[in-house]
Structure 1
Amino acid sequence: MSYTLQRIAGMMVVMFFVVSIVFLIVHIAPGDPAVVMLGPSASEEQVAALRAAWGLDRPLFGQYLLFLGQLVQGDLGQSIFLGKPVLELLAGRAEPTFFLTIFSTVVACLIAIPLGVYAAYRRNSLWDRLATSLAMLAASVPSFWLGLILIQTLSLQFGWFPVSGYGGPGADFMTRLHHLFLPAVSLGIYSSALILRFTRASMLDVLSEDYVRTARSKGMGEFRVVMKHAFKNALVPIVTIVGMTMALLVAGAVITEMVFGLPGVGNLIVTSVLRRDYPVIQGTLLVVSLIYVLMNFLIDMLYLVIDPRVKY
């Protein structure tokens, strides 16, 4: 309980600083949403009236206090351009980003964890060097470039997958999955590089421990030694990097969503930045930051299950 309360208190402090920094960065960025909305032909009186209607003429500290008061009530504000609550806009865009993040993480783990475990087991062999080279190649190839290559080959040439979109309004889950396959693969391959290297490094540390040699000296099979004794004790850094990768994918899927035309949170962020829609930018960044912090908190809680030493 003490460990959990400490993590919750730390999470609240981090979120307070995140809220302050996001508000400051968004409001000191160049550009005026009133000018963007009304266009270059608008008069100064029209711009001033619109700024007053949205409270943009108030001092920066006054806007900050108003923003904090809305957050305490669970209100992220209302979009200047669309006239809808930010929470409603985020809820409408959350599904594509959520499933893209999940599927990309699954693809990355299916590629990286088996290769990392086997590369550590066959250390300094041809398979080890090949796995390390593949990890470096995956980390060097941008996900959007890989996405364009997949579109060119698997979509345009073979016609196996749709080029873009998320299916129609009434599309079922399999149709959605069909549209998400290529972006999930492109993001998953790029994200697998870091997971593979962490898995290999963690397994190398564990495989040299005394208890692994003891298990082998007792005649235990290699598969059981590697999976039950070595892999189980190497899980803490692996779980950490997988959780961090999943959190980063929520914010890092912006370009991939634009390439594949997915109506997700990343697409909403880009559109809002171009429009200088302050409430949407702030709300989206805060939700993404909260997901990142919550993911770190869940990882810390998983340590209690994976590593009993944390309890002591």
Structure 2
Amino acid sequence: MLRSILNRLLGMMVVMALVVTIVFVIVRVTPGDPAAVMLGPEATAADIAALRSKLGLDGSILEQFGRYVFDISQGNFGQSIFLGEPVTTALAQRAEPTFFLTVFSLVIATVIALPVGILSAYRRGSIFDQAATTIAMFAASVPSFWLGLLFIQFFAVKLGWFDTSGYGGPGASFADRLDHLVLPALALGLVSSALITRFTRASMLDVLNDDYVRTARSKGMSEWRVVLKHAFKNALIPILTVIGLTAALLISGAVVTETVFGLPGVGSLVVSAVLRRDYPVIQGALLVIAGLYVLVNFAIDMLYLAVDPRVRY
């Protein structure tokens, strides 16, 4: 078990090293001088030289990479050109909306998908199964931002139940801020539930006809105890995998949704940084998102050890 954990930690470090290298290379292979692109056509040669020095672009590639890795190891992602503050501060100030949006979206997707997927597999070929499969395929093809626009038009504009955008004022209560997350969380959660539903159904179908399930039935156990305690528990590993992947995708997928709903989260920060060519913010956000993605996958690997004793050995 310890060896398995150490192998996964080593894999995490390798992945993050590759991510750091790729993020470093992206800025350097961008056509033109990054400093000149950020400052615009009106910048003087002195301004460009000053910014190149500030960004660490005035040394050799090896010197730049070494300085970049050292700064990251110290938790220094650089200074935002347009915000005038450290990238870590900018990301921390906008982390709350993105965090709660991701969590609520994942909860909505899981609460919808697991019961529907289990019941769909149990009633394979029924009208419910066909309807659930069709709706899941349709939901998987719907862009979350388009669904969000529909929600804004109907629930916010027409019915007036929710605000159209924002995250509440500076003195807004926690409940008021959560109220602003209902529509974007529903938009992301409903779309994400389609993938979890299909994987849950497929995983349950693989185990419902196994010998141990038939044995449990022959012992006189109730049908739902057989389905939930025996079948679902053994089908849980691939389901956990897709839930973990969904959580990681929600972190990156929140970018467009936050922009649609005007949420001051990491997603909207990344969009504005791309439009402004604020490379330090873009690099910092990419590293943070990649790090969260790796951590989510590591957490899912640890859940494997708790769910299935066979993985421990």
With normalisation by structure 1, the TM-score equals 0.96
Gaps of 5+ in 1: none
Rounded Cα–Cα distance in structure 2 between residues aligned with 1:306 and 1:52: 52
Is the partner of 1:253 in helix, strand or coil?
helix
* CA drift at 1:275: 1.9
Counterpart of 2:133 in structure 1 is: 132
For residues 178-216 of structure 1, what are the alpha-carbon distances to aligned partners after superposition, in whole Å with 9 as ceiling and x for unaligned? 100000000011101110010000100110111111111
Mean CA deviation greater in 70-79 or 151-160: 70-79
Kept in 2: contact 1:36–1:275 (CA 8 A): no
Match of 2:123 in 1: 122
The one-letter code matched in structure 1 to 2:145 is F
Q: Conserved in 1, the CA contact under 8 Å of 2:162 and 2:179?
A: yes
Q: Which residue of 2 aligns with 1:235?
A: 236
- 1:157 corresponds to which letter in structure 2? K
Instruction: Give me the whole-angstrom Cα distance separating, in 2, the residues matched to 1:262 and 1:51.
Output: 32
Structure 1 position 270, deviation (Å)? 1.1
Match for residue 186 of structure 1? 187
**Match for residue 113 of structure 1?**
114
- 1:66-81 alignment runs, 5 A limit: 66-81=67-82
**Aligned partners of 2:32 and 2:126: how far apart in 1?**
56
Q: For structure 2, which runs of at least 5 residues remain unmatched after alignment?
A: none
Does residue 252 in structure 1 map to residue 253 in structure 2?
yes
Q: Deviation of residue 37 (structure 1)?
A: 4.9
1:279 is matched with which residue?
280
1:146 corresponds to 2:115: no
Partners of 2:185 and 2:74 lie apart in 1 by 36
Residue 149 of structure 1 deviates from its aligned partner by 0.4
SS in 1 for 2:196: helix
User: Which shifted more, 66-75 or 46-55?
Assistant: 46-55
Q: Which 10-residue stretch deviates more, 62-71 or 35-44?
A: 35-44
Change in 2 beyond 3 A, CA 1:34/1:21: closer
CA distance in 1, matches of 2:277, 2:185: 29
**Residue 33 (structure 1) shift:** 5.0
Residue in structure 1 matched with residue 20 of structure 2 by the alignment: 19
Within 1, Cα distance between the matches of 2:54 and 2:306?
A: 52
Whether contact under 8 Å (1:108, 1:189) holds in the other structure is: yes
Does structure 1 conserve the Cα–Cα contact (< 8 Å) formed by 2:166 and 2:263? yes
What is residue 59 of structure 2 aligned with on the other side?
58
Indicate whether 1:156 and 2:157 are aligned: yes
2-structure distance, mates of 1:219, 1:42: 80
Which residue is equivalent to 1:28? 29
- For residue 256 of structure 2, what is the amino acid of its counterpart? I
In 1, Cα distance between equivalents of 2:153 and 2:32: 37
Residue deviations 1:44-93 (CA, integer Å, cap 9, x gap): 33323332343333333322111001112222122122221111111001
> Does residue 86 of structure 2 align to residue 99 of structure 1?
no
Partners of 2:21 and 2:43 lie apart in 1 by: 32
- 1:288 partner SS: helix
Residue aligning to 2:290: 289
CA distance in structure 1 between the partners assigned to 2:51 and 2:286 by the alignment: 24
Quote the offset at 1:36 in angstroms.
4.8
Rounded to whole Å, the distance in 1 between the matches of 2:271 and 2:286 is 12
Distance in 2 of aligned mates of 1:109 and 1:159: 28
- Whole-Å separation in 2 of the counterparts to 1:30 and 1:152: 41
How far did 1:27 drift? 2.8
Q: In the alignment, residue 129 of structure 1 is paired with which amino acid? A: Q
The alignment-based identity, stated in percent, is: 64
Q: Give the paired residue count.
A: 312
Partner residue in 2 for 1:85: 86
Distance 2:50 2:99 in 1: 39
For residue 291 of structure 1, report the CA deviation from its aligned partner: 0.4
Q: Which amino acid aligns with 2:261?
A: F
| Farther-moved stretch of structure 1 (32-41 vs 55-64) | 32-41
Q: Deviations over 1:115-166 (max 9, x none)?
A: 1000000001111111100110101111000000000000000000110001
Please give the alpha-carbon distance, in whole angstroms, between the structure 2 residues aligned to 1:150 and 1:235.
Answer: 32
More divergent stretch after superposition (217-226 vs 54-63): 54-63
Instruction: Give the Å deviation of 1:100.
Output: 0.3
Kindly indicate whether residue 174 of structure 2 is the aligned counterpart of residue 173 of structure 1.
yes
2:27 and 2:34 in contact (8 A); partners too:
no
- Structure 1 Cα separation of the partners of residues 32 and 275 of structure 2: 9
3-state SS in 1 of match to 2:293: helix
Q: Report the Cα distance in structure 2 between the residues aligned to 1:257 and 1:206, rounded to whole angstroms.
A: 39
